[in-house]
Amino acid sequence: MKKTYFIIGDVHGEDKMLDEMLKNWDESTQQLVFLGDLIDRGPNNKKSVLTAMKYVKEKNAWYVMGNHEVMFLAWIDNPEERFDHYMRNNGNTTINHLLNRPVDTEIDSLKDCELVKEQYPELISFLRERPLYIDEGDVLFVHAGVDLRLDHWLDTVPKDFYWIREPFHTGKNTTGKTIIFGHTPLKGLNEDGDYMKLWQHDGKIGMDGGAVFGGALHGVVWHDGKIQKIYSLEHKDFH
């Protein structure tokens, strides 16, 4: 019998939605998978990412690297050059949540970077260790996608695993795998803009419901090559 997976899309600090979604996970029979982007923008980025880290460390969950984790680490490593880019992507919310401050507190990049490094060495090390993808043979878990223009998807440049959009969405899937990803909100992927409906096309399944943008957080049970069940939580029910 093939393994059963419980996959959770982009959380972006929506801690209450994450807590509710995790109630649907059957720890005894399902491998838990986070598709990345646990941080930035939402109401409690600290709790969301620490919850995911705890589940990885204590319950053997999987957590693939998202572009927002990459931006956070880039800021940690180079707080002067990477500050503006991270702020444009709402990094201030994560920094202030980690430092237990009001979200509108002005960021002092160098000083706050040192504070975060002093207070969260375990979290930083943990995020550095996140894999770019998890290949299970017939199914591939990745944050953004792979470069389907290449002869072999494994030749995808690292950045594309967590940033790619259009070339992956429109490319022909010749990998022989179902590729389950987040990153691009369903409101943009689905022609009708429906964030409650997963995007399924050519062996690709998009499941970023844009929870933090007023959309939904999706959880998918995947078993034996197909979706067994979908759990969907709407933002409006938690705010």
Q: Which domains does the chain have, with CATH numbers?
A: 2-66+130-232 (3.60.21.10)
pLDDT (average), residues 63-92: 98
pLDDT (average), residues 140-145: 98
Tell me the pLDDT band of 36, cut-offs 50, 70 and 90: very high
**In this model, does residue 9 exceed pLDDT 70?**
yes
The mean predicted confidence, pLDDT, of the chain is 97
Give per-residue pLDDT as tens, 97-138.
Answer: 999 999 999 999 999 999 999 999 999 999 999 999 999 999
SS3 annotation, the chain: CCCEEEEECCCCCCHHHHHHHHCCCCCCCEEEEECCCCCCCCCCHHHHHHHHHHHHHHHCCEECCCHHHHHHHHHHHCCCCCHHHHHHCCHHHHHHHHCCCCCCCCCCHHHHHHHHHHHCHHHHHHHHCCCCEEECCCEEEECCCCCCCCCCHHHCCHHHHHHCCHHHHHCCCCCCCEEEECCCCHHHHCCCCCCCCCEEECCEEECCCEHHHCCEEEEEEEECCEEEEEEEEEHHHCC
**In this model, does residue 153 exceed pLDDT 50?**
yes
**In this model, does residue 142 exceed pLDDT 60?**
yes
Tell me the pLDDT band of 1, cut-offs 50, 70 and 90: very low
Give per-residue pLDDT as tens, 173-232.
Answer: 999 999 999 999 999 999 999 999 999 999 999 999 999 999 999 999 999 999 999 999
**In this model, does residue 239 exceed pLDDT 90?**
no
